[in-house]
Amino acid sequence: MAESGVAIDLENLPEDAAALRELVTNAELENAGLRAEIDKLHMMIKGFQRHRFGKRSEQLDAEQMQLVIEDLEQTMGAGAAAGDARAAAEAKNGQPNSPKPVRRQRNLGQLPASLPRFEVVIDLESKTCPCCRGDLHCVGESRAEMLDILPAQLRVKVIRRPRYTCQACDTPITQAPAPPRPIDGGMATEALIAHVLISKFADHLPLYRQAQIFSRQGIALDRSTLGDWIGRACWWLRPVYERVVSQIMAAEKIFADDTGLPVLDPGRGRTKTGRFWCYAVDDRPWCGRAPPAAAYVYAEDRKGIRLMAHLANFRGTVQVDGYTGFGQVVKERADASVKLAFCWVHARRGFFEVHASTKSPIAAHALAQIAALYAIEAEIRGQPAALRQAARQERSRPIIEALHGWLNQQLPRISKATKLAEAMRYTLRHWE
């Protein structure tokens, strides 16, 4: 908890002007840190309120909220440092009873044993006893660990290829062939190109900022050069990507979902919404042999023809949400080679939202039945397919049949305009 402010002992103010100025400065920094902590808590409360009660257009974006909190936490850190300095100075001046600064909860934990260690020994300058002038003997030591970092360091890879000739005959000069480079004639190694790729696509670091980072180490790299590296690397990696996609599409059952993302729209001065479709397979819960995999496929929009192109070579079951585009894929397959398995998570979401806002007993009953299905799945996860099927037929089937009848019985009694009725219709519409 943050205190309301820092108390200064007005009866024991230092007479030295410089010491007094330092005392006031530290007190102000500490108070600023406390005020920042209060602002952070207010921001979090408002964010939760907007998320819970606000309109969708007014809800605070999580990333924007994190940026604001980061700035406040920096101010809080400066205030905490000032408080530590104030407490140390007052203790040194013989004021042990002054209020100690409140320590914030820090991320303190045991550092991973896999990290390399280097030791710094802080020893006494003199190992002579100050009383009897005899030799001091080591009886132990205290150890403390701190997390350190070695900044990324550029280095030059020098490839030497000795040339040989025979002194006894006219054999031409020979040498080992030059190793292939990821970019013909380029100076970037595989490690450097991988670093640029990860920085851009995993850490969202634009190329112009990466160029600035390289410049600080004395390396002038134009943004267009970095862009050329990425384009060539993507070309080399495309067969790997296509292999992953083909492996997923060869499975008997896959998961499919999409998410929107802003895409630059040159000439219009704004962005448009593209779609990232994710296709995944994970057979681990039921002891499958295939390794888990996920592939993302970009599409300009959410039209059904995109799904038809993506799933053109797929034969099997697709676990999906309620998007109608998947239904178009099924209709286009005259041989019924694609089946849909609708997700209980999406069906549950509507009842959960209703119950969270209204405490509806009908929504609570639906959630309880779905929870019972989840409990059965948790018990049989990892068991052979035959045992799982038998358990579902014996235990899950009666719950599902009873829930289906109950939903059909309850729906006519509820106003069609309510969210509860909408959740029921969604569930019944995707029952088969």
Count how many domains the chain has: 3
Compute φ and ψ for 253, nearest 5 degrees: -145, 130
- Which residues span the domain enclosing 189? 182-239
Q: Are 307 and 333 in contact (CB under 8 A)?
A: no
Residues 419 and 358 in one domain: yes
Q: Which of helix, strand or coil describes residue 16? A: coil
Residues 356 and 417 in one domain: yes
CA nearest to 414, candidates 428, 430, 397? 428
Q: Is 417 domain-assigned?
A: yes
In whole angstroms, give the CA distance from residue 159 to residue 128: 55
Q: Give, in degrees to the nearest 5, the angle at Cα 180 between 176 and 182.
A: 160
Residue 2 is predicted with a pLDDT of 45
- Condensed to tens digits (0 to 9), the pLDDT of residues 353-379 reads 999 888 999 999 999 999 999 999 999
Residues 321 and 389 in one domain: no
Residue 393 is predicted with a pLDDT of 95
Rounded to the nearest integer, the mean pLDDT of the chain is 83
Residues 258 and 312 in one domain: yes
Residues 325 and 359 in one domain: no
The β-bridge partners of 320 are 342
In the block, which residue shows the tokens 């550029």? 154
In whole angstroms, give the CA distance from residue 232 to residue 188: 12
Q: Is 321 domain-assigned?
A: yes
Looking up residue 257, the CATH number of its domain turns out to be 3.30.420.10
Residue 160 is predicted with a pLDDT of 95
In whole angstroms, give the CA distance from residue 329 to residue 313: 12
- Condensed to tens digits (0 to 9), the pLDDT of residues 236-269 reads 899 999 999 999 999 999 999 999 988 877 777 7
In whole angstroms, give the CA distance from residue 317 to residue 310: 14
In whole angstroms, give the CA distance from residue 49 to residue 69: 16
DSSP state of 64: H
Residues 264 and 293 in one domain: yes
In whole angstroms, give the CA distance from residue 193 to residue 180: 15
Residues 306 and 232 in one domain: no
Q: Is 37 domain-assigned?
A: no
